[in-house]
Structures are given as structure tokens and as C-alpha cells.
Structure 1
Amino acid sequence: MSDLIRSLRLFVRLNEEGSFSALGRRQNLSHTTIARAIADLESYFGVRLFQRTTRRQALTADGERLLEHAVAILDQVGMAETDLAGAVAARGLVRLGVTTALGLHYAQRLADLRAQHPELTVEMFFADWRDAADDGGLDLWLAVGPEGTAGAELLGLLPRMLVASPGYLEARGAPGNVADLAAHECITYGYAARPEPWPVDGEELRVSGFLRASSSEAVLRATRGGLGIAMLPRIQVEEDLARGLLVEVLPGCTIPPIEVLVAHGFRGMRMPMRARVVMDFLVVGFPG
């Protein structure tokens, strides 16, 4: 990739991110690297691209004109890359941010992706809750909930269910209705000061228990160990249910599924083939 094309891409992304620091975190680049790319563009075209103050930066009139040209140029470059690649397999590294349950689900199916694209390399970054995009420089990442990353698209819905170990239910008894959950040990996960309520049968239940963890896998293992009742994605507990290690609690209750979104870091340009095949892998391999 030429230095000019690289600088144009950084210019477009800098305008989208709004600051050098935000772009640096997203792309894992130093402030110096980004500043040099913008300076090179300003020198090449002989114009000033940004009006900077202590509080904000904004495109100059020349910057706005270049932005329009840059987006068109990068789109054409992307089209050329796609056209010339033809049937050649995707190559290079794709950095993918996933939640624990879905990441493990996809990890079991990576052999199929490798068989189709042996020159592709995938790095998976696991993060529960809503922070899967916190690691800068991701190509693709999953977000949870309708308030996920701007520009993200719905990937699918993950059903959830309440589960507990047979040992816990034998010792404490199974809840007969939703109201009985208040008297039980409920294992939750999240990062907020207060755990999010459990949405069951149209109610927002404030539950509590001995453990709250930032990992759904930790919640699963604690539940399997008999610590209490947990609300987890069905794909994460299906195997334990089949083996009798867990039992569904209140099977007749209604729990809304988790909305899973997928976002990418190629706004303003055509997605490269390496990322496109992984995006297709996520779509095709989504549970159900």
C-alpha cells in the first residue's frame, strides 16, 4: 500500500473518530504516526486540513474538499482490490473482538474457515458485557444490546435461560414462580456499579447473590459448582444440560433474547476481502 493511500485512510478515519487520541486507541497507533501522515498530506496538497484549538479540531474548507475526494479514491481502490483478487483466497490478519459465549462457539468452527482460506490469520479478543471493542485496532467486533456501537448491524438473537445445578436445587428447592427468585442465590455478571436486572415475564427483577463476575464463563462454572441460579445464553449451557450438570429453572418463563450486533473498522472505505470472509463466517455460523 502506498504512503499516500495509507495517509488518506488515516485522514478519513481521523475525521470519523474526532481526535488523534481516539484514532490512536482504535488503530493502535502513536500520536506521532498520525500527525506525520496528516502533515504529509498537507505538504503534498499544499493546504491545511484541520483547524485545531485547545478544545476541538474541525476540517477546514480544503479539508472538506479533500475528504470528499479521499472517500471516492479509497472506494475505487477497494473496488480494484476486490476485482483483481478474483477467486484468490483472503490473506492476512483479521483482529476479531467477541463475547465469551459466542467466541467459544465460533472457535469450535474455525477449522472450516481455515480450510477455505489457509492464508488467513485470525486473532480473537474475548470480552464479556459490552466492551468487546475496547481493544483498539479491531477489524470486526461484536456488541451486545441495542445501544451497541454506532453503525453496527444486527447479527442475530441469542436465547437465554435460567439454570442451576441439581445439587443447588436439592439443597435450596426449585423456585415455583418468578417472585421466588428473590429468595435464591442469583449469580450475575457485568461491570456496572449495580448489576442489570433480569428481565423475566415482563418484569425487571433486581436479584442478588454471593457472586457477580465480569465473565460469563466464571458465572457458568460457579453455577455448575452449585453456587446458585444464573441467567446465561442457551448455547453456553446446552452441553451441561444434556449431561445433567445443570437443570433449567422456571422453564415456562419468558426471557427476551440478547441482541448481538457486529461492527467493523472500515467506515468510509470498502471492507477488505480478509475481513469480508470473516464477516461471512460470523453470519453463516451464528447459532440457529
Structure 2
Amino acid sequence: MARTFERVFIEVRTELRSGETIMDLLKSMRIFERVADGASYTLAARELNMSTGSVSRLIFDLEQHLATRLLHRTTRRIALTPAGKRYLARCHSILEALDEAEAEAKSIHISPTGCLRVHASQSLAQHYLVPAVRSYRERHPSVQVGLTLSDSPVNLLAGEFDMAVVATEVLRDSSLIGTRLGSSYSVMCASPNYLDVHPMINRLADLSNHSLVCLAPSWSDNVELTSQGANGCETVSVQPGLCISSQSSLANALELGMGVGLLPLHAAVDAFRDGRLVHILPACQFEHVDIYALFASKMFLDAKVRTWVEHLKGSFAESSKNVQLVLYNTSDLQVA
């Protein structure tokens, strides 16, 4: 647009009467535009679903405010005065700019377009989000995606991101809207080489005889491992051999045969498929989490966020089926 919305707003505001709102003035300008373009009070009143008297009164009030006659009125016709012609041109310009701004704002909520800014962890992105982005952009090529990967918490209310995908046991922030996409858990893993030279692991208590690689920001003397399995909830305390703060580095350490450790199921499934890791204690599930799509508000939700969240629901459901299929197909490699 040749003139910005901010400039138009300033122009309209300078013309306000005492006690009048911008909406009141815009209404008067639109009515004047209809009367002038159609050269008829009656026609304008019919188009605006108003009485002819109301239209006439509003035009009179507008002229009083401007201290200028805008229309010549006779019993047969209506004609613009020179001042009316200049004001009509001004009204056309202002209302056209406002209509364009309004249409642009409304289209955001109707058709997905623009850049979708998403925050997520590295493992969720690699195994769930990147494939989902590919299929989403095939459906909505007018949307570009900015995917920021970090395990640090994100403040969605700050406006830097449109939404976040998180895996958590409890959704604590009540100021955010959370759509549950699915659930997951962690699995105990080790490399085939490690298991070839170390004692069998038949139950949770056997882990105390092994080198545990755990995810932690710093060294910890003891780590409590709690599993949910056929025998209910069991807990064992194990002294780790290695604490590491990066999940991808933890997976690498396990593949190098440095011990046993927990990985989120979605982060371990490719290694199970390729035979780089073995699923230990397959009847046990650790660290259950729910996976959520989080965003700041549900009112007037941007179309790209709405369609992306709906797409994620289906994508996560399909990915979960594929993960379970991999577990079933690699069951012959699992250590009982």
C-alpha cells in the first residue's frame, strides 16, 4: 500500500469530533461514500440497511463537524460540492487502505500463510517434526517453517515463537493452550557389543551390576530408575558410570558400548531397527511423558498454527504406529 495503516490511523484520528470514536467517524465516512457514489440517500440507506432519515442525519452531522457543505441537495438530485469532491477522494483513499489492512488481517485466520516459528527439542524434531514439516508444506506451500531446536524452556508469551512441541510428565503453565498429540516413554538400551561381554540383564535389579550412562546436567552419585511393567512399579538405585548432558551424545556413548542407559523411545527406534542398539528389559517402560503442542491463545488462532497443530495430530499418530511396528519387528534382538 502506498500509505501505511499507521499513517491512515493518524489521519483519521485528527478528524475526530469531541466524544467521537474512530469507528464512529469511519462509519460516517463510509455512509458519505455510499451516498456520493450513488448520488442517492435512499439507495445508500437500502444498501446499508438503514433508514433514509438516519443516513441524512449522519451526513448533516458530518458536514457540521467539518464546517463544510459536502453535498448540494435538490428535490431531484444530489451533487458533490468542490469540498465534497476533495473529501470523497480522501475518504476513498483512507477506506481503501483500511479495507486492505482488514482483509490482510482476516486472511491470516482463514488461509495459512507466512512463517511458522516452532520451538522443540532435538530428538522430537528429528523423529517427529521434520517428517511432519515435509508433509505439511506439501499441503501448504505458502507457509515457511522456522524450526528452533533446544532443550531449554521457551516463553511463548514473549512472541518469539508461534508454538512449541514439548514432552513432559505434567503440563504446568496454565497460561498456555496445550493440545495433546500423544504419549511416549523411555527404554533401556545397550549395544550388542556391550551385551556380548557383560552379564545378562533379566530384571531391573540386575542394572546395579552394570555401567549406567545417564542424562544429567552434572555428576550424580546415585540415579533412581523407576519402571512400569508386568510386575507393577519397580525402583532401583544405581551409581552411574557416566553422566552426560546431551541426549545425542548419550546415544552415541551407548552405541560405542560404554554402558546401558535410557533413551526416549522415538530417539532409540532407528538404532533398534539398524541393530546399533538392543532393547533391554522390553517389558519395562520408564519415564512416561505426554507430548503437547503449546501455543499462547486459542482466540483468533492464526490459520498456519491451527492447520499445523491439526496436521501434527495425524502425523504423531502415524509415527507412533511405525514405532510400535519397529519394536515388534526387532523383538528377536531384544534381551528378555
> Which TM-score band applies after superposition, normalised by the shorter structure?
0.5 to 0.7
TM superposition shift of 1:3 = 5.9
1:175-186 pair list within 5 angstroms = 175-186=201-212
> C-alpha displacement at 1:249, in angstroms?
0.8
Cα 1:109–1:155 change in 2 (3 A) is closer
Structure 1 residue 104 displacement after superposition:
0.7
Is residue 139–residue 266 contact of structure 1 (8 Å, CA) maintained in 2? no
- Contact kept, 8 Å, 2:169 with 2:288, in 1: the verdict is no
1:225 to 232, 242, 256: 256
Q: Which of 124, 133, 140 pairs up with 1:110?
A: 133
TM superposition shift of 1:255: 3.2
Report the counterpart of residue 145 of structure 1 in structure 2: 169
Q: Residues 190 and 214 of structure 1 are in contact (CA less than 8 Å); yes or no, is this contact kept in structure 2?
A: yes
1:154 to partner: Cα distance: 2.5
User: Any unmatched runs of 5+ in structure 1?
Assistant: 5-44, 46-76
Q: Pick the aligned partner of 1:156 from 182, 195, 208.
A: 182
**Backbone CA RMSD of aligned residues:** 3.2
Q: Give the drift of 1:145.
A: 1.9
Counterpart residue number, 2:237: 206
Match of residue 284, structure 1, among 300, 309, 314: 314
**CA distance in structure 1 between the partners assigned to 2:272 and 2:224 by the alignment:** 24
Q: TM-score, normalised by structure 1?
A: 0.63
Q: 1:176 is paired with a residue of what secondary structure?
A: coil
Gaps in structure 2 of 5+ consecutive residues = 8-20, 22-101, 321-336
1 CA distance for matches of 2:131 and 2:180? Answer: 22
Task: Specify whether residues 119 and 196 from structure 1 end up closer, same or farther in structure 2 by C-alpha distance, changes over 3 A only.
Answer: farther
Rounded Cα–Cα distance in structure 2 between residues aligned with 1:99 and 1:227: 24
Shift of 1:193: 7.6
What are the Cα deviations for residues 98-129 of structure 1, in whole angstroms up to 9, with x where unaligned? 1222211221332211111112111112223x
* Secondary structure in 2 matching 1:198: strand
Q: Which has the larger radius of gyration?
A: 2
Q: Which residue of 1 aligns with 2:268?
A: 237
Q: Is the CA contact (8 Å cut-off) linking 2:223 and 2:239 kept in structure 1?
A: no
Cα 1:3–1:155 change in 2 (3 A) is farther
User: Which stretch of the first structure deviates more once superposed, 100-109 or 203-212?
Assistant: 203-212
C-alpha deviation, 1:179, in angstroms: 0.8
* % same residue: 20
1:161 partner amino acid: V
Higher relative contact order (CA 8 A, sep 6+): 1
Q: 2 CA distance for matches of 1:258 and 1:213?
A: 21
User: 1:198, 1:207 within 8 Å by CA — same for their partners in 2?
Assistant: yes
Distance 1:132 1:108 in 2: 23
Deviations 1:219-278 (A, max 9, x none): 1111111111121122222221122111111122243532222211336x3210121122
Query: Where does residue 106 of structure 2 map in the other structure?
Result: 81
Check 1:97–1:243 CA distance in 2 against 1; reply closer, same or farther (3 A cut): same
1:96-135 equivalences in 2 (<5 Å): 96-105=118-127, 106-128=129-151, 131-133=152-154
Contact 1:132 1:142 in 2 (8 A): no
1:168 maps to what in 2?
194
- For residues 134 and 224 of structure 1, the distance between their equivalents in structure 2, rounded to whole angstroms, comes to 35
CA displacement at 1:93 relative to structure 2: 1.3
Instruction: Give the TM-score, by structure 2 length.
Output: 0.55
